[in-house]
Amino acid sequence: MTIGVVGERRDGKLTRESCEAICRAVQLKKQLAMSVELVLMEPKGVFDSPWIDRWGADRVVVYDLADSERWNMERKLSILEKYVQETKPAVLLFAGSIQGQEFAPRLATRIGASGLVDCVTVSADSKSKGLSVTKPIYGGNAYGEYCVMTPCFLALRARQIKLEEKGEVAIPVEWREAVKAQGCDSIVSRRLQSAAGHDLEDKKILFVCGRGIGNKENLERIKGIAEISSAGVAGTKKAIENGWLPLEVLVGQTGKILAPELCIVLGASGATPFVHGIAGAEKIIAINKDEDARIFEVSDLGRSDDCEQVIAAIERKLEEIL
């Protein structure tokens, strides 16, 4: 019996969310006594055999999909449908990406399996012989625990599991033909209009700006500081609503879930849906005028001060150093 993991590759390697999904599958592997199969859709020849796996997967199944079809969601869904019909996995995990969150419920409905999105923990439930899955509810102020029977398709939330390398192992790769071009007739064109924020996940240092930074000028100053340290810059819902930053860099429950090594939060009060977006950060430094702000309940280091004052102090220090 198989646990499938629908993974994604970007810039020539597996995305972090895909690796997290494999790690989750490997946890389940022991509990369910099943094997773990990574499922990809890539143009033929884009990587060589053998596949070097570091997370504990047993084999890779790749469907030949031309690069021009990368964004053809309808086609990709049909391919996955075919995969499920061929392999009948008991559990299919999807990486914690926008694509994964869309595919899991749609595919589950097509197949007649159960589906859940934004899953935080997944484990075998010996009582029901199914799985026990938890996910956030009520804006992240609470969690729901669900009992799901197999076959089930689960889209994971990103950054909920620590990546554990298991050493490099060469595993077999099987290339399969994708279904005949079955997309959607009514789609005339698709093109990427803007590509902001797609590399935020890789940044080790992240600056998150909330409404408290005050104005766009301060944002530019923060961007300047971020650039010096190769850090990323993201924003809370309020910062995006003010038009300071684009939607693509929204951090929070319904935006990006990031887990940098160092997260510096300026002028955000720490509302629960936002905090969920940075909860996985190793170290959080927060600056907020209000010393009772909830952000200080989740930070390691804090300062109650006007953001502009802190920005000015940092700029001064950096000038001295550089």
Partner 1 sequence: MDQVLSADWVVQEDQTIDLSYANRVINTYDEQGLETMLRLKDADPNCSTIAMTLGTKETESMLTKALALQVEKAIRIDGETAISQPPQAVARILCAGIKKIGEVDLVLCGRQASGSENGQTGLILAELLGWPCISLVTEVLKRDDRLVILHQVDEGIEEVVMGGPVVLTMTQSADHFLRMATLRDMMDAKKKSIIHWRLEDLKELQSVKEAAGASLSRIFTIEERKKCVMVEDAEEFADRMIEEMRRVSKSEGVGL
Partner 2 sequence: MENQKVLETFEQMVGKEFVQTEEAILQEYATDITGLRMVQKHFGWKSENLAQCIVKIHTKEEAVEVLQFLNQEKIVSVPRTGGSGVCLGLETPKGSVVLDLSEMNEIIEINEENLTVTTQAGVALERLEKVLNKKGYTTGHFPQSLPLAQMGGLVATRSIGQFSTRYGGIEDLLVGIEGVLPDGELVRIKNIPRKSTGPDLRHIWLGSEGTMGVITEVTVKIFPMMEERCMQAYAIDSFHTGLAIIREIVQAGWKPAVTRLHDETEAAESYGPFMQPGESMLLFLSEGPKGYATLEGNAIQAVVEKYGARALGSKPLELWLKHRNDICDHLDMYAKQGAVADTCEISAMWSDIGKIYTEVLERAKAEVPHLVAITGHSSHSYEQGTNIYFMMGAMCAPKVEAAQKTYDQLFGIIMETTLKYNGSICHHHGVGRYRAKWMKQELGSAYPMLEKLKMAFDPNGVMNRGVLLPVDEK
Binding residues for partner 2 (CB under 8 A):
211, 217, 238, 289, 291
The least CB distance from residue 308 to partner 2, in Å, is: 12
**Phi then psi dihedrals of residue 269, to 5 deg:** -75, -20
The b/e string for 213-229 (b: 16+ C-beta within 10 A; e otherwise) is bbeeebbebbeebbeee
The b/e string for 24-47 (b: 16+ C-beta within 10 A; e otherwise) is bbbbbbeebebebbbbbbbeeeeb
Strand partners, 152: 91, 114
**Residue 211 site contact among partner 1, partner 2, none (CB < 5 to 8 Å, cut-off depends on kind):** partner 2
The least CB distance from residue 217 to partner 2, in Å, is: 8
Give whichever of 59 and 198 is closer to partner 1, judged by the CB atom: 198
Three-state DSSP at 176 gives strand
Judge whether 134 and 121 are in contact, CB under 8 Å: yes
Give whichever of 24 and 135 is closer to partner 1, judged by the CB atom: 135
Give whichever of 52 and 318 is closer to partner 1, judged by the CB atom: 318
**Residue 289 site contact among partner 2, partner 1, none (CB < 5 to 8 Å, cut-off depends on kind):** partner 2
The least CB distance from residue 172 to partner 1, in Å, is: 28
Host H or E run for residue 88: none
Give whichever of 29 and 303 is closer to partner 1, judged by the CB atom: 303
Q: Return d(Cα 85, Cα 256) in angstroms, integer.
A: 32
The least CB distance from residue 315 to partner 2, in Å, is: 15
- CA 322 remoteness from chain centre: 35
Structural tokens at position 233: 């810059």
**Residue 238 site contact among partner 2, partner 1, none (CB < 5 to 8 Å, cut-off depends on kind):** partner 2
The least CB distance from residue 58 to partner 1, in Å, is: 26
Name which of 241, 236, 263, 239 is nearest 251 in CA terms: 236
The least CB distance from residue 286 to partner 1, in Å, is: 7
**Residue 106 site contact among partner 2, partner 1, none (CB < 5 to 8 Å, cut-off depends on kind):** partner 1
**Residue 174 site contact among partner 1, partner 2, none (CB < 5 to 8 Å, cut-off depends on kind):** none
Give whichever of 52 and 137 is closer to partner 1, judged by the CB atom: 137
Give whichever of 56 and 83 is closer to partner 1, judged by the CB atom: 83
